[in-house]
């Protein structure tokens, strides 16, 4: 009799496992699924007026192991070129600036927003991630990331733990990420709020290297540390609806300036940039410009809400993010995606995004000549008041071989607004904010091995 009981217990256990197993949301569990899943994308990002262009190749590989364990590894390679606004205001006369390398100068035509077109970089980024269950209800996720550019190196570690409740309908998670980034700017790290350098370093485009200080008191390297903490809640509401709510805290400390950004020093009445007497030996800036200066700490809080709703096969994805930081920047981001099946194996997905931010407390379009220098000042357009809009459309289909392919085209536009009380004299009649129009074109292909 004792021997007869065992198969019943085993059968009950198997049935229970099958039932519990069926509650797992991830379809990758099926034994027929491939061991490796590759998610690849080629992205072109291009701004108008010969500003930043980026060609980006991305591969994300994911391998499943027994017992719901996953290894994920990602590689991104970017090739970047183009011009970027340097922070100076447009003028009615031509303006000359020293390249960051200190080797040459470049000149901007009257009424044009000054941009530095020497920007050219490549970037390689890698990340690895390991995910596994801890017992029946917990899930652990640990990862590392690194990226390198000519003048910038990032290294980071992250970990996240989550716990399921309420028959896996509720999941709470907590995550921590630490990053150490090192900047090694072309030409060295400028001293904050000091005049733009002369082109006194010949045609040598290399940075000084070797660490330490150069003769002008500039260091060659700086670093910053970033701590991120995220608490999340995911809730299944019904068979067709789930949502997520995340609170994030971020603390960045160290060198937070952009070493390539400057501000125009202007006359307090006319608002025009203060011209300089040319140096008898070296080329150099035509007007007085100062390197920017930001606080060496920034604390951000953000709240992110996302809901997904399935309406008879059509999926609406809505999200909202509120961000507030101690630089007095507040931002709101609203995003919507609507996935619309077309036929049996393809879909269309329109995408809308709206973003708005207030300016940093130390954002200023210019510094008045003769007035006491502010403690912090930046004219970086990304710290100003602006709204941004994204409109996009994605088309995805399943290929004859059963793999997923997609193409998406999006337009991104930034419209800035410098409050008139921050503008002086002739600045009021000029177009001072470097509005941005960009195109995003992406091809995606996902396959298994």
Partner 1 sequence: MSKSVVVSLVCALMICGGCASMGVEPWERDVLARDEMQLTTDPVEAALDDHIYFSKEASSGGRGFGGGGCGCN
> Toward partner 1, which CB reaches closer, 154 or 430?
154
Which x/- pattern, by CB under 8 A, does the window 262-291 give for partner 1?
A: ------------------------------
Three-state SS across 278-299?
Answer: CCCCCCCCCECEEECECCCEEE
- The string over 37-47, giving b where at least 16 C-beta atoms fall within 10 Å of a residue's C-beta and e elsewhere, is bbbebebebbb
Query: Helix or strand or coil: residue 238?
Result: strand
Which range, of 7-15, 247-255, 277-285, 368-376, touches partner 1 by CB under 8 A?
A: 247-255
Our finding on whether 20 is near partner 1 (CB under 8 A) is yes
Collapsing DSSP to helix, strand or coil, 433 comes out as coil
Residue 335's Cβ-side half-sphere holds a number of Cα atoms within 13 Å equal to 16
Shortest gap between Cβ of 432 and partner 1 (angstroms)? 18
Residues between 64 and 83 that touch partner 1 (CB under 8 A): 74, 76, 80
- Binders of partner 1 among 195-224, rule CB under 8 A? none
Whether 321 contacts 333, CB under 8 Å? yes
Between residue 160 and residue 189, which ones bind partner 1 under the rule CB under 8 A? 165-170, 175, 177, 179, 181, 183, 185
Minimum CB–partner distance for residue 81 and partner 1 (Å): 11
Cα 205 from Cα 102, distance rounded (Å): 8
CB 352 within 8 A of CB 336: yes
Q: Give the nearest distance from C-beta 154 to partner 1 in angstroms.
A: 3
Position among 306, 346, 422, 426 found at the interface with partner 1 (CB under 8 A)? 306
Give the list of residues 6+ apart from residue 195 with CB closer than 8 angstroms, or none.
Answer: 285, 288, 289, 290
Stretch that binds partner 1, among 132-140, 278-286, 303-311, 423-431 (CB under 8 A): 303-311
Residue from 199, 216, 215 nearest 102 by CA: 199
Q: Which is nearer to partner 1, 266 or 414 (CB)?
A: 414
Q: Shortest Cβ distance from residue 34 to partner 1 (Å)?
A: 15
Among 239, 343, 370, 402, binds partner 1 (CB under 8 A): 239
User: Which residue among 46, 49, 52, 132 contacts partner 1 (CB under 8 A)?
Assistant: 52
CB of 166 to partner 1, least distance (A): 5
One-letter-per-residue 3-state SS of 86-134? CCCCCCCCCEEEECCCCCCEEEECCCCCCEECCCEEEEEEEEEEEEEEE
Q: Choose, by CB under 8 A, the member of 101, 162, 234, 366 that binds partner 1.
A: 234
Minimum distance from residue 299 beta carbon to partner 1 (Å): 9
Beta carbons within 8 Å of 244's beta carbon, 6+ residues apart: 232, 233, 234, 235, 304, 305, 306, 307
CB of 31 to partner 1, least distance (A): 16
DSSP state of 435: -
Which of 89, 360, 377, 379 is the binder for partner 1 (CB under 8 A)?
Answer: 360
Q: State in angstroms the smallest separation of the CB of 140 from partner 1.
A: 16
Taking residue 207's Cβ as centre, other Cβ atoms within 10 Å add up to: 21
Nearer to partner 1, 63 or 321 (CB): 321
CB of 78 to partner 1, least distance (A): 8
Instruction: Map the footprint of partner 1 across residues 419-438, applying CB under 8 A.
Output: 436, 438
Q: Tokens 């797992």 appear where?
A: 24
Round to whole Å and give the CA distance between 292 and 261. Answer: 6
Instruction: Work out which of 228, 267, 296, 435 binds partner 1, going by CB under 8 A.
Output: 228
CA angle 132, 237, 167 (to 5 degrees): 45
Residue selected from 2, 9, 19, 277 as contacting partner 1 according to rule CB under 8 A: 19
Q: How many residues form the binding site for partner 1 (CB under 8 A)?
A: 103
Which one among 105, 139, 253, 310 touches partner 1, defined by CB under 8 A? 310
The nearest distance, CB 93 to partner 1, in angstroms, is 26
Q: Is 268 left (phi over 0), alpha (psi -120 to 50) or beta?
A: alpha
């Amino acid at each position: 009799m004792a021997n007869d009981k065992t198969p019943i217990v085993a059968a009950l256990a198997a049935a229970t496992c099958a039932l519990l197993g069926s509650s797992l949301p991830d379809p990758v569990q099926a034994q027929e699924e491939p061991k490796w899943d590759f998610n690849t994308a080629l992205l072109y990002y291009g701004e108008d007026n010969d500003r930043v262009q980026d060609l980006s190749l991305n591969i994300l590989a994911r391998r499943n192991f027994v017992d719901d364990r996953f290894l994920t590894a990602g590689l991104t390679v970017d090739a970047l070129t183009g011009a970027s606004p340097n922070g100076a205001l447009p003028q009615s006369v031509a303006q000359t600036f020293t390249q960051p390398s200190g080797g040459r100068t470049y000149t901007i035509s009257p009424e044009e927003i000054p941009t530095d077109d020497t920007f050219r970089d490549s970037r390689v980024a890698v990340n690895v991630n390991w995910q596994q269950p801890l017992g029946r209800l917990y899930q652990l996720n640990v990862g590392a990331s690194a990226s390198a550019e000519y003048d910038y190196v990032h290294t980071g570690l992250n970990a996240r733990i989550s716990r399921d409740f309420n028959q896996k309908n509720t999941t709470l998670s907590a995550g921590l990420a630490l990053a150490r980034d090192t900047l090694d700017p072309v030409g060295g790290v400028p001293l904050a709020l000091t005049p733009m350098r002369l082109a006194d370093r010949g045609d040598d485009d290399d940075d000084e290297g070797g660490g330490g200080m150069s003769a002008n008191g500039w260091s060659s390297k700086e670093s910053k540390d970033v701590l991120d903490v995220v608490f999340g809640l995911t809730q299944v509401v019904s068979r067709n609806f789930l949502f997520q709510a995340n609170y994030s805290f971020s603390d960045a400390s160290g060198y937070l300036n952009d070493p390539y950004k400057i501000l125009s020093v202007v006359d307090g009445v006319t608002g025009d940039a203060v011209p300089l007497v040319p140096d008898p030996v070296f080329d150099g800036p035509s007007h007085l410009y100062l390197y920017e200066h930001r606080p060496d700490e920034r604390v951000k809080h953000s709240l992110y809400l996302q809901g997904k709703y399935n309406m008879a096969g059509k999926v609406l994805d809505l999200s909202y993010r509120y961000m507030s930081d101690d630089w007095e920047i507040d931002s709101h981001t609203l995003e919507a995606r609507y996935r619309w099946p077309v036929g049996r194996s393809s879909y269309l997905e329109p995408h809308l995004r709206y973003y708005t931010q207030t300016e940093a407390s130390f954002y200023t379009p210019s510094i008045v000549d003769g007035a006491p220098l502010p403690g912090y000042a930046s004219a970086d357009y990304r710290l100003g008041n602006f709204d941004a809009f994204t409109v996009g459309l994605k088309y995805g289909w399943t290929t004859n071989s059963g793999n997923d392919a997609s193409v998406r085209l999006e337009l991104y536009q930034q419209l800035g607004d410098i409050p008139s009380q921050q503008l002086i004299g002739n600045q009021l009649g000029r177009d001072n904010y470097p509005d941005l129009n960009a195109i995003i074109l992406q091809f995606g292909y996902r396959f298994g091995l």
